[in-house]
Each structure stands twice: as C-alpha cells, then as structure tokens.
Chains A and B, each alone.
Chain A
Amino acid sequence: MTLYSPVFILAFLPTSAVIYRTVPKNFRPQALAAMSLAFYILAAGEHFYLLPILAILVYLLSFAGKKGFFVCLFMFVPLRLFGISALGVSFFILRAAAYIYDGKRERNFFKVFAHLLFFPCVHAGPLASYKDFESGLSRYADFAQMSRGICMALYGAFKKLFFADALYVTFDKFFVGGTSLSAFLALIAYALYIYFDFSGCSDMAVGIASVLGFDLPKNFDFPYMSRSVSEFFRRWHITLGRWLFKYIYIPLGGSKKGSVRAVLSLGAVWLASALWHGTRLSYLVWGMYFFVIAIAEKLILPKGFKIGRLCTFCLVLFGWVFFFSDTPAAAFAFFTRLFCLGETLLYCRADIYNAIRNVPFILLAALFATPLPRRLLNMLYSRARVALYILALPLFCLILSCLVSSGHIPFLYASF
C-alpha cells in the first residue's frame, strides 16, 4: 500500500480521518500510532517489523541525551552495509536523530511512535520536526484546512500518477537507445520524472497530513526555476537541506569559523547527503560534483552572482546522470553518449519516432514544473473556490483512470 493506492484512498484514509476526528483528544496519539503502525505493516512488506522496533529503541535512546543522536545515526550503518532496505528507513533515521538531538524527552511513547512513523510521511517525508508534529496533535483540522489538504493531495497524486509514472516509461524508452539525442531526451525525462515523483509524494503527504490537522513544511519550491545550484538545493528537498544545515553544517562550525571550516562543513553536508542516498560510489561522485559547484558558487563567484536558469538546469541535469547510474563508469559512458563522443550516432530513425510521440508530453510536464499551474490554482482558490472544488472531481477521475490503466512505479525516494 502506498499513498496513491486505491486501498489507501478509498478505505484507509477516510477511515483513519473519521476515527482520528472522533476519538477523544487524549487518545489521539494512541489512535495515530495504531493507524501508522497498521499503514506501515500494510506498506512495508518483508521488513515490516524493523522500523516499529527501531522506534521503540529511539524512544528509549532519547532519554540518553545527545549521545543518542550519534547512536541513532550509527544504527543506519549496519542497515546500509547489510543491504537491509526497509520502507522509509532513511527518512526514519533523520526524523529520529533530529528528535533526539532536539532534546525533547517526551514521556508519552505513543506520541513519539506516531511522530516517527507518521503514515503520510513514512515513504518520503517531508521531514517535520517533533515540535510541528506535536502542535498538530493538539488541534482539529477545520473544514478549510481539510479542503486545502484534499486539493493538495489530489494535485500530488496527479503529479505522481499522471506525470511521474509516464515520464519514467519515457525515460526508459530513451535510455535504451544508443544515440546522443536519445540520451539528451532521457536526461530531460529523468529530471522531470524525479521531480514529479518526489514532489508529488511530498504534496500528497502534506495534503493528507493537513486533512488530519497537521501543518507539514513544504518540500519543493519549483527547483528548476533556480538561478544557481545553491538556490536549487534550497528549493529541492527543502526539509533535508534544512536538516543537514541544522544538524551537520551548524554543529561543525558552518560559515562562522572561517572559509576553511565552511568548506569542510559543506563537504561533510554533501558527504552525508550522498551516503544518505546510498553506498553506491556514483552517489559519492554525485555528492562531490555538487560540493565542487557549491564551493565554486560560494567562494569563486562574486557574492549575489547567479549563473542563470539555463546554466543551473544544465548543471543539475549532469548531476542526475551520477544519480541514476549504477557506477561512475556507467555515468561516464552516458556522458560519452550524450556528447556524441566515440562512435555514438547523433540520432537514429527510432529517436525521431520516440521524439514525435513523447516530446509533447515532456513539454506539458515541463510546463507543470513551473509555477504557472500553481499560480492558476491559487488564483482559483482565492477568487473562485467553487470552480476549484468542481475541478477536483475531474482531477479525481483522472487519477482513478491512471490507477486502473497501468502498472505504477514505486516512489523512488521510498527505496532509499
């Protein structure tokens, strides 16, 4: 079960929302913990027991003070080394470490358990602090918040099911081609796929949490509109960026202890980010690549200077090559293809066919990666709310039509 599963949409979510609203305030943490546990068991498959057990450990560790922070992070190491991949474990560890570091020694176990396994966020965040979570526990969602949440969740599901899944198929189609044009189109499709997959999941999580009365931080702010790579990562996976800043960059000295310390802190941030994604060497190269660019932007370029949208987009695109390649060698082979080096053909007949069939969809997806549709929705929300609510019905039908029509690609970030 995932956030876009018919089982979740038709049965789990409405039932949970009704139960959560009807239980007395004192029992809400217990109710939420039970729902989150049920969701996790249904969603996680083979290793369903792992995170619930770790959540108990984290609860106990939180009483050991900040030492628990490192213990918590090191729990991650054996999981990574032995290749044990439980659903959402990467996000869980960050949530748990932040909870311990913040020093909140909550005595109510169910509150901690519900926070760590909060079902809307268990797949792929966003990473909300315990403080945000706790404030959500103390209030009911009013109908305005619930309706906003429903619209947000629908829009997130639309991004995931209509765009991301189809873009992955498009990426796959171009990726197997051997030409430069197919590599270029594969890269564009991947950049859009990963954005729609992850931001769609985040939107769904924020929307669903909103239905229950929780305000979660947004995770994406149209990152492909960024004018520098540093700005890109302030707009991409925002909550991870904030986590790394708060729990790694600042404790290591940040930029307040000279340039060398700042560079080292930034290096640690990128190393942590790469290792968090996985132990593949290509992730390390990915982290190093962006570390070098971030250093260049910070130290070499004049302060306030922006390299521009196109240049940023290209640099980010090249970064994705390391991200989706299994090894650095595979990444460099892809670059050879992309830049038409060696015996690579510029294009072939099959590319023309695939381009004709897929470029209109890629362009539509690119349009939806800009703020324009969001601005339109915001305008509708403020000026013609009824129209927005009416629009939700065809959007829901479209989501259902995607659900019944084809197989779906699991959330990419749920596998980290």
Chain B
Amino acid sequence: MEKIFVKSAFALCFILFVCVLLCPADTWLESENRYIGKLELSDKSFSDRLPFRTSLMHVNRDISLALGKNEFAGAFFGENGYIFSNEEVSLAVLEKNLAFADELSSVIETHLCVIPSKTDALVSYLPKFYDSMRGELWQVSAKNKNNVSDVLPIILLAANNGKYVYYRGDHHLTALGSYYVYKSLATSLGFAAYGSDAFSVGIVKTNFSGSDARKMLTETGDKIALFRYSGDSRLITENLDSGEKYDGLYDFDKLISNDPYGIFPAPDCGRVKITLGEGRENLLLVCDSYGDSLAPFLARHYDLDIIDPRYYGGSVKDLIKENNYTTALLCFGMDTLAGKEILYKLMF
C-alpha cells in the first residue's frame, strides 16, 4: 500500500510538471486579466500554469468564505451584490499629491475633482460593521487651494437613492455616475451642463465582469451603458501612444476584448486627444481611469487632451506651454489620490 501511495505521489507530481511545461504562453488568466507569459523557473510562472488553476482558486475562495472571512484576493462582498476592493490609502500620500496639484495651479488654472471610490460612496452597501475610516481624507481634499468640485454629496445621494452609479463588480463609475460628476463640474468649469434628456442611453454590454468581480472569481451581471448625443460620432479620438485614430468616442471592438471598460476613450494609455476641429476651447484633462467615462461628457464642450500620469512619460509642463492650455482639470479617484504618489509627475 505504501508503495502505491509513494509511486502515485511521484506520478502526480510528474504529470503536473509535464502539464506546466506544456501550458502555452498565451493562456489567458481571467481573474488577473493577463496572459501567463513565457515559462520561467519561478514560483509564479509555475503556479500560473498549474492545471485546474481556476478550480483550485475557487476552492481556496470557498474555504475563505466558509470560514467567515468574506474576503478573497483583496476583494470582499458587500450588500446587494456589490463587491468592494481593499484600498491601501494614506493621508500622507493624499497630502503629497494635493501639494503637487497646488503647485500646478501656479502654472495653469487648475480644477480638482476627486471621485469617491465605491467604499466612500456606497456606504449602505458595505458589510455590517465595516468602517473605512476615510472621513479625514475627504476633509483634507476639500481644503485644497484649487477649485475643488465636491462630487461626493451628489454621488452619495444618487447611491442612497439606489441609482446604478457604480458597477457591482468593478471599481469604476458607470456612465450614469460619470454623468453626475459632469453635472457637478459645470459650475466650477463654467459650462452649461446638458440635462439627462439631451442624451440617449443605450446598453452595449450586459455581462461585464469588472476587476472586483474577477478577483472574487464571480460574475455580477453588470451592464455597460453609454450616454450618446447627436454629433458625438463626428469627434475624432486619437491615441497618441499607439497612433490609433478613430471616429467617435468609443472603441466598440473593446466590448469583445478582455477589458470591455476599454470602450471608453483613453484606457490604460498615457495620452489621448479628442477633437472636433471647430476651434473649440481646449481642456487638459489629467486623470486616472475614472476620467475615461467622464471624458465623453466633457468632449461635448471641449476639445480634450487627456493625460494619465501613470502611463504618460512626457513633461506635463512642456505640454501646457506648447499647446497654450489655459485650464486643467485634475480628475482622480480617492483610491488613486490617497493610494499612489503620482502627481509629482506634473512638475516635470
């Protein structure tokens, strides 16, 4: 019996090893939104290639949930089907980023818009007793010298009224959520926001699995809707990283890709321009991915130069000088602004 056990154990290891060796590099890992890549002599490379990897992850998640942890891979379940992510935020990081935003205001008229993350806004959907303890972050960001657009109340109000302002399984705002941000930006930026009846809303994706849902290895049945308006297809979107250029605001091919949120302009890239070519006012939009779904609304009023400092390698100051920009809108999620030191890049 021992002989069978030992031989079986060795055979199992051998079979798994062969599977690891044979696993192709272009295997897609749904939960991590990436390909496994070339085989290397590393733990990560080996564990990525293990057969039944997803099933094994499900086992681990189910055990975690059964033990009452309610958490897996940095995400946790809230009420009403919402999934939240653990966000590592700190007041010190926020203060540093805001200080750089202040410095930029000496170069250009700067407006700041801090987008609440799901944890900030969907308080009633958080698990019982969960305390994000982020009030102080909002107090600090509200005191910033720049023209701060306080979007938290309007998003909170919409969320409390049961509006679908955040995806259940993704950290981003829905198009509706971005519409509310657009409305609240109008006073600060000085444009007349269009009413909701000036847009036609259409659902373009019904089974969207966002990053939080993928972490939790589940589906939340999210829908991606677009707020279209007449003439939006006349706009030209140009991705200056890839050189790709297309008519209209949306890249519909992305709907069938691994990242359907990429349908919005400027997904994970350094610089994108949206222009109409009719001598409209320019706006420099410096943002993270929260700005992607906001850009279509702003593009109704401005020609946009969208910079994501996480990916943009050039000098923002030079860009402002070269293009004679007069107004910049900094639009970041609180999770980014208090989580990563990125705005120092604006000084170069």
Contact = CB atoms under 8 A, between A and B. Distances in A.
Interface string A343-355: 0000011101100
Interface string A322-354: 000000000000000000000000001110110
A244 to B, nearest CB: 34
Interface in B108-138: 127-131, 133
B189 interface: no
B56 interface: yes
Given A350-B131, A358-B69, A389-B5, A401 B46 contact: no
A357 B71 contact: yes
B50 A404 contact: yes
B9 A150 contact: yes
B14 interface: yes
A404 B42 CA distance: 13
A129 interface: no
A146 B129 contact: no
Interface stretch (B57-65, B99-107, B243-251): B57-65
A53 interface: no
A17 B128 CA distance: 51
A348 B131 contact: yes
Contacts of A247: none
- The size class of the interface chain A forms with chain B is 35 or more
Given A5-B43, A5-B46, A144-B2, A402 B60 contact: yes
Interface residues of B, number: 40
B316 interface: no
B56 A405 contact: yes
Contacts of A404: 47-48, 50, 53, 56-57, 60
Interface string B216-234: 0000000000000000000
A400 B50 contact: yes
B71 A10 contact: no
16 contacts: A6-B43, A10-B17, A13-B13, A18-B10, A143-B2, A147-B6, A348-B131, A349-B129, A350-B129, A353-B129, A360-B67, A386-B1, A392-B5, A396-B12, A400-B50, A400-B56
Interface of A: 1, 5-7, 9-11, 13-14, 17-18, 42, 142-144, 146-147, 150, 348-350, 352-353, 356-358, 360-361, 364, 385-386, 389, 392, 396-398, 400-406, 408
Top 3 closest pairs, chain A to chain B, by CB: A6-B46, A353-B129, A143-B2
Interface of B: 1-3, 5-6, 9-10, 12-14, 16-17, 20, 41-43, 46-48, 50, 53, 56-57, 59-61, 63, 67-73, 127-131, 133
